[in-house]
Amino acid sequence: MSALRRLIFSLLALLVLALPAHAVQPDEVLKDPAHEARARNLSRELRCMVCQNQSIDDSDAPLAKDLRVLVRERIEAGDSDRQVLDYLVARYGEFVLMRPTWHGANAILWLAPFGVLVVGGLALIVYARRRAQRVVPSSPLSTDEENKLRDLLDEPGSEPASQITKV
C-alpha cells in the first residue's frame, strides 16, 4: 500500500472517529419520522444528569436512556416541544437544559464574570490614583542637608565635594 493510500485511509478513519456517537438504541426510535426528528432535537437540548457535559442524545448512561424514552413518550402523548421541556424542567430542575434560560439566579451567573472584571478594573484605577497621590515630588535640599551630603561625599580618594556641581 502506498504512503498516499495509507494517509487517505488514516484521515478517513479519523473523520469517522470524530463524528458524534449517538446513543439512541433501535428500540427507542419512534415509527413516525417527524416525531423521531422532534425527539432527537429535544434530546440534543437536554443534559445527561450523570455525564453532565453530554446531551442525552449522546450519552449511554441508563438515566439518559430513561430520559430519551420519557421524551418520546411525551411526544407520542401529543405534548409540544415546550411542554416536554417544561415537564422535564419541573421534574429535574433547570440543570437538565443544555442552555439554561436567562432569568433569576441564572442571570446572576451569566453576568458574574463581567461584574468581576468591572470591579477589578475599578479597583486598579483606585489603586493607581492613590499611589499617584502618595508620590511626593522631591524638594530641594536645605543648606544643612547639602552640607551633610558634602561631608558624606568627601571620602578619602574621592573628588572634593566642592567640585560637584548642582544639577
**What is the residue extent of each domain of the chain?**
17-96, 102-131
Amino acid 64: pLDDT: 86
Contacts of 82 (CB under 8 A, 6+ apart): none
CB 52 within 8 A of CB 10: no
Q: What is the pLDDT of residue 85?
A: 92
Q: What's residue 138's pLDDT?
A: 72
Helices (DSSP H) in the chain: which residue ranges? 3-18, 33-45, 62-76, 81-92, 104-134, 143-153
Query: Residue 106 has what pLDDT?
Result: 77
Q: What's the pLDDT score for residue 19?
A: 53
- 17-96 homologous superfamily: Cytochrome C biogenesis protein (1.10.8.640)
Q: What integer pLDDT is reported at residue 86 of this predicted model?
A: 92
Consecutive sets of 10 residues in the chain, 167 residues long: mean pLDDT of each?
79 65 61 84 88 83 88 90 92 85 78 93 94 75 86 68 54
* Confidence at residue 26, expressed as pLDDT on a 0 to 100 scale: 59
Output the pLDDT for position 18: 57
pTM, 2 dp: 0.52
Q: What pLDDT, on a 0 to 100 scale, did the predictor assign at position 113?
A: 92
Using only the alpha carbons of the chain, give its radius of gyration.
36
Q: Could you give the dihedral angle defined by the CA atoms of residues 74, 88, 34 and 16, in that order, rounded to the nearest 10 degrees?
A: -130
Closest listed residue to residue 72, CA positions, set 40, 25, 106, 112 = 40
